[in-house]
Structure formats: C-alpha cells, structure tokens
Amino acid sequence: MCELLGMSANVPTDLRFSFAGLMRRAGTTARHSDGWGVAFHDGRDCQIFREKRAGAQSALAAALCDHPIRSPIAVAHIRRANRGAVSTANTHPFQRELWGRWWVFAHNGQLAGIKRWPLGQDRPVGTTDSEHAFCWLIGELRRSFGRAPGEAALCRAIARLCRRLDTLGTCNALLSDGRRLYAYCSSKLAVLTRRAPFGRACLIDADLRVDFAAETTPEDVVRIIATRPLTADEAWQPIERRSLAVYRDGELVFHDRAPRARRVSAAADPSHAAAAAAFARAG
Amino acid sequence: MCELLGMSANVPTDLRFSFAGLMRRAGTTARHSDGWGVAFHDGRDCQIFREKRAGAQSALAAALCDHPIRSPIAVAHIRRANRGAVSTANTHPFQRELWGRWWVFAHNGQLAGIKRWPLGQDRPVGTTDSEHAFCWLIGELRRSFGRAPGEAALCRAIARLCRRLDTLGTCNALLSDGRRLYAYCSSKLAVLTRRAPFGRACLIDADLRVDFAAETTPEDVVRIIATRPLTADEAWQPIERRSLAVYRDGELVFHDRAPRARRVSAAADPSHAAAAAAFARAG
C-alpha cells in the first residue's frame, strides 16, 4: 500500500503543510518507508525530488519542508514496496515528456498482468507495474492524438484509459501535465477544497497547525487530494469510486463517473462498504 | 557562455568538491547566474536538481554540498543565458528516456538554425537551442537503432551526430546514459584523471582543499571533465577539439577525432590559438 498527495491551485501555492503530514506517514505514523517523491510543476516544466528511503528520515525531505517551493500543481507519493525492488528507479512520481510538456504519474494499487500490455517507444526505467502502466497510458495518448487535443477530448481519453487500467486491479492514481491534475479513484481517494473564508487546520500525523487566513488572499482556491485525509478539522470528501476527477486552477473541470450499473454493484460490494467505513474512521 | 562539469568513476563517487567549485562560478567568482543543475545517475535511473537562479546563492545547491550523493556518473551545468529566457525549463541538464534509461544532456555554445532541424516525438519543453539539439540527437538515435546497440556502434553514431551539431556553431557538450559519459569538445573542455597514488587538491574558486588519499581506495579511478580547470594543482588536459571522448567507469573507452585536414586547419585558426592560450592561463 502506498499513499498519494496531489494539489491543484489557482495561484502558486506552498505544499509544505500537507507534505509534512505525508512525510510523517513515510516511516513514523505509518510504514510507507520504501521511497518518497514529489513533483512541482512550473509551466510546461517540472521539478521532481525522489529518494529510495523513508521520507520521515530524509534530510532532503526535511529541507523541502524548510524551503517552500510554490507551484500551482504538485504530486507526491510515499511507497511501501509490494512489487519491484526498493530503488530510485521504482520510486514515484514517474515522468515522461509528451507534446512538449512533462507529465507526472503516481499510483497506488496493483495491476495484475499490466506488463503484458504492449508499449510504444516510452519504456519503463524501473520494474514497477505503475511505471509500465504510465508508459502504456502515455503511449496510447501519443497514438490517439498527434498533438495536444482540447480539454474535453483529452479528459475523456484519460478517463477511458484509466478505466482500462482499473480492470486489472486497483488504480488509485494522480496524473498531471502542469495544467491539470487528473485523479482517478479506483477504491480510495479523498478531496478537500480550501477557499475563502479560510480557517485553521491541524495535521492528523504531526502537531502542526496553520491559519490559512494568514497565508492566502480571498481569491485563492486550493484543492488537495490524498489517499487518506491529512487534517483532522477540515471537510474531506471521498472521490467517487471508478471516477476520474480533473482539476484546473483548483476547480473541478471534468468528472467522468462509472456507468450507473457498475456504481450500484460497487455500492453493494461488502468489501467496498468496509473500505468506506474505514475511510470515514480515518477522516 | 555556460560552464560544464562531468564525472565518470568506477565506484559511486562524491562530486561535492568539484561541484562546490562550480557553484562558486555561478554568481561569485564568475557570472553564470541564470540557472544551475546537476544530474546524478543511479543505474538506469537518474536524479536531477535544477533551479533558475544563481547556484552561488541557492539553499538547495548548498544542501547538496552538505549531503553527499555518491554516483558513478554525474553531469552539472551553470548557465549564463544568451538564447532563451531565464526559466527552469531552460535550465540544463535536460533529460529524456531512451531504451529504458534516462539520458542527460548539458551544452555550452550556440547552434544557429538548430530549430529548423526536424524532430521526432521527443519535443523541447523550454526554448533553448540546447534542448532542441538534445531532442534531435535522441530522435536520431531512436531512428537509427530499434534498441540499444553495442558500445562501438553507439559511440560512432553519437560522434557523427555531435559533429553535425558542431557545424552550426559551438557544441561543447556532455551526454550521459548512466553507463557512459560522452564529452564532445567543439572549442573548450578539459579533463583530469584521479587515480592512485592520490594526492591533494585545492579549488581555484574557493578556499577548499581535499586529500583524496584519505577519501579513496587504491583501485578508484575518477575522471573529471570541465569547461575550465577547477583545481589549481592537478594535471588538467584539454580535450582535443572536434573530438568525442567517451568514458566508462572512469576510463577512456572511445575517442573519435576529427579528420586530419580539419585538425590542421583548426590549429591554424588564430582564434583557436588564442583560446588555447587562454585555456593554458586558466589551468
């Protein structure tokens, strides 16, 4: 099991508060100790920090908590290895250039048989299911579109591809291209919106509080997505299972939900009900 | 004008001493203040740190000088912008995945007209000549070989491609794939070998000394390549102009030199003689 953290905002935003909470789960309050990584987008470019060690014990992760990097889109991941060795090459987020932009991908879950899915020229550097899935997805986008399509066509294509991945197991995933944050929820992702009037929040995993009113302007909108809620006193909402939610500038711009028949059967599945109850307790 | 630094070694090696000297030139002893970056290879993977600011004033660069990252191959660059805005996207080294490995490229010089050279699917994220040249080179390698060829064929192909780039202007460049460091010298690159018996060295740009005998084993071989010598008391050698030198595990494994006629005319070129004299003074 791994954990994900994503952010989409309408202004370059400091991720340190949420990131500090996630890093506590990387070896202190939880055992996601096999690697951590975070990507900060900067226009078409992005900057990625990754290490094959526990984030909670990392000097680099601590330095990132000391020195803010402000970005409108960020994706972070902490790893507890199940498939693939503990190595930098197997540490999320992964990145590939597509249409002159860096795309970033982080994933939680297992995708049985994904390595039999054929790839284009984008090839995995490490040995995880997740990177293979990302290379496949990027290859399919390249094959479908000669250049970047419009937002609606792109979101529909990504929803279709995520849904295909989801048939192989569990695909909780964050994908970003510097403009949009794509969050596919297979079983467990939560979302939180921060906008005026801003309040206070405290982390679940550390004795750290922040007063967002002092850190923001009334126009700021920040959307945070995480595997489990990171704060104890904010209104986290589960993202609907088997749906793709796409955020741009902190706002939801696309939401592709599973067909109704599948949604009903998902609700009726007792393992899902148990997971939903666990989710509610975690929040 | 930018400056380059590369390392190839037969054991994972700490680059901090040379890197600290280079960072001094990024805003203190020289004016390469428009961005800095360094890539550390780790098998097929690599880790890149880049910022669009002066390395001499960077907290991140300072942190890298405090916390060693040991790697057998590293490439660093400091930028003084001439073409392309000051931005992270225009900061070297650049990276692209090819044949399941991360390739890294840093360049010094200008390449007039390079943007008219057609690209495959690897597209620049920024606006520099250098990244366009890198995307072109990677695309040509993809086109020539379906998968990674043997060392000799690969080195010959890269030599041919660098020579084509060189016809457009100046192409002092470092390219690496995690196994080999490819150094193409168009006008100015120097190389230094450190092997037993190891001695002491002091930086030209900072009051920093090291006794390599205390830091190494007798089997270690470390090759350092730089635009200008970084230490005052070691035997730096210029790399022959219009040649590609390839290093693996610290050893020279391939050296492709320009045809004799071109070498003679290069030696007769007074601007080259002046540059050679300037190089000797810098050493």
Going along chain B from its start, the domains and CATH numbers come out as 3-109+171-282 (3.60.20.10)
Q: What are B159's two structure tokens? A: 């030599």
**Which has more pLDDT, A241 or A69?**
A241
DSSP string, A152-204: HHHHHHHHHHHHHHHTTB--EEEEE-SSEEEEEESS--EEEEEESSP-EEEBS
Q: Is B2 a catalytic residue?
A: yes
Average pLDDT score over chain B: 90
> Above 80 in pLDDT, residue B152?
yes
Quote the minimal CA–CA distance from B11 to chain A in Å. 18
Q: Does B97 touch chain A (CB under 8 A)?
A: yes
**A47/B88 Cβ within 8 A:** yes
pLDDT (mean) for A179-197: 97
pLDDT band at A273 (very low <50, low <70, confident <90, very high): very low
Q: Cis check for the bond before B270: say yes or no (omega within 30 of 0).
A: no
> Above 60 in pLDDT, residue B67?
yes
Q: What was the pLDDT predicted at B64? A: 87
Which candidate, A84, A2, A70, A71, places its Cα nearest to that of A36?
Answer: A2
Where do we find the tokens 């060795």?
Answer: A85
In whole angstroms, what is the distance from residue A194 CA to residue A62 CA? 25
Q: What was the pLDDT predicted at B272? A: 37
Task: Kindly indicate whether the ipTM for this predicted assembly is greater than 0.85, answering yes or no.
Answer: yes
Name the residue among A87, A99, A123 with its Cβ closest to that of B99: A123
Q: What was the pLDDT predicted at B83? A: 74
Strand partners, A193: A223
**Which has more pLDDT, A56 or B107?**
B107
Name the residue among A63, A121, A125 with its Cβ closest to that of B101: A125
- Preferred mutation among B44, B49, B58 to probe A, highest tally of A CBs within 10 A: B44
Q: What are A48's two structure tokens? A: 């990625």
Q: Give chain B's largest Cα–Cα span.
A: 51
Q: What was the pLDDT predicted at A263? A: 52
**A101/B125 Cβ within 8 A:** yes
Q: List CB contacts (< 8 A) between B97 and chain A.
A: 96, 122-123, 125
**Which has more pLDDT, A260 or B179?**
B179
pLDDT (mean) for B260-278: 44
Residue B14: count other Cβ atoms within 10 Å of its Cβ: 17
Shortest CA distance from B102: residue in chain A: A125
pLDDT (mean) for A96-105: 98
pLDDT band at B279 (very low <50, low <70, confident <90, very high): very low
Helix/strand/coil (H/E/C) assignment for every residue in chain B: CCEEEEEEEEEEEECHHHHHHHHHCECCCCECCCCEEEEEEECCEEEEEEECCCHHHCHHHHHHHHCCCEEEEEEEEECCCCCCCCCHHHCCCEEEEECCEEEEEEEECCECCHHHCCCCCCCCCCCCHHHHHHHHHHHHHHHHCCCCCCHHHHHHHHHHHHHHHHCCECCEEEEECCCEEEEEECCCCEEEEEECCCCEEEECCCCCEEEHHHCCCCCCEEEEEECCCCECCCCCEECCCCEEEEEECCEEEEEECCCHHHHHHHHHCHHHHHHHHHHHHHC
- DSSP state, A41? E
Q: What was the pLDDT predicted at B244? A: 98
- The pLDDT tens digits of the residues spanning A126-162 come to 999 999 999 999 999 999 999 999 999 999 999 999 9
In whole angstroms, what is the distance from residue A15 CA to residue A230 CA? 12
pLDDT band at B262 (very low <50, low <70, confident <90, very high): low
Shortest CA distance from A42: residue in chain B: B88
**A42/B89 Cβ within 8 A:** yes
Name the residue among B45, B50, B142 with its Cβ closest to that of A47: B50
Q: What was the pLDDT predicted at B277? A: 44
Q: What was the pLDDT predicted at A262? A: 52
Q: Is A151 exposed, middle or buried (0-12, 13-18, 19+ CB in 10 A)?
A: middle
- The pLDDT tens digits of the residues spanning B186-219 come to 999 999 999 999 999 999 999 999 999 988 999 9
Q: What are B14's two structure tokens? A: 């700490």
- What residues contact residue A9 under an 8 Å CB cut-off, 6+ apart? A72, A73, A220, A221, A222, A223, A249, A250
Which candidate, B155, B125, B119, places its Cα nearest to that of B140?
Answer: B119
Q: What was the pLDDT predicted at B118? A: 97
> Above 80 in pLDDT, residue B235?
yes
> Above 90 in pLDDT, residue A189?
yes
> Above 80 in pLDDT, residue B246?
yes
- Tell me which residues of chain A, numbers 133 to 172, contact chain B at a CB-CB cutoff of 8 Å: 142
pLDDT band at A31 (very low <50, low <70, confident <90, very high): confident
**A67/B125 Cβ within 8 A:** no
Average pLDDT score over chain A: 90
Q: What was the pLDDT predicted at A16? A: 92
Q: What was the pLDDT predicted at A120? A: 95
**For the whole model, what pTM was predicted?**
0.90
Q: What was the pLDDT predicted at A56? A: 87
Q: What was the pLDDT predicted at A30? A: 86
Q: What was the pLDDT predicted at B260? A: 66
Q: What was the pLDDT predicted at B82? A: 78
pLDDT (mean) for A262-279: 42
> Above 70 in pLDDT, residue B9?
yes
Which candidate, A7, A19, A20, places its Cα nearest to that of A206?
Answer: A20
pLDDT band at A59 (very low <50, low <70, confident <90, very high): confident
In whole angstroms, what is the distance from residue A182 CA to residue A138 CA? 14
In whole angstroms, what is the distance from residue A109 CA to residue A283 CA? 20
Highest average pLDDT, of A11-25, A53-67, A164-178, B249-263, comes from A164-178
Q: What was the pLDDT predicted at A261? A: 54
Q: Does B211 touch chain A (CB under 8 A)?
A: no
Percent of chain A beyond pLDDT 90? 75
- What residues contact residue B212 under an 8 Å CB cut-off, 6+ apart? B194, B198, B199, B200, B201
pLDDT (mean) for A170-190: 97
Contact present, A92 and A35 (Cβ < 8 Å):
yes
Q: What are B205's two structure tokens? A: 């740009």
- Preferred mutation among B66, B91, B97 to probe A, highest tally of A CBs within 10 A: B97
- The pLDDT tens digits of the residues spanning B36-50 come to 999 999 999 999 999
**B44/A88 Cβ within 8 A:** no
- What residues contact residue A20 under an 8 Å CB cut-off, 6+ apart? A65, A203, A206, A208
Half-sphere exposure of B209 (CA within 13 A, CB side): 5
In whole angstroms, what is the distance from residue B49 CA to residue B36 CA? 8
**A59/B67 Cβ within 8 A:** yes
CA angle B228, B230, B231 (to 5 degrees): 130
Q: What was the pLDDT predicted at B280? A: 39
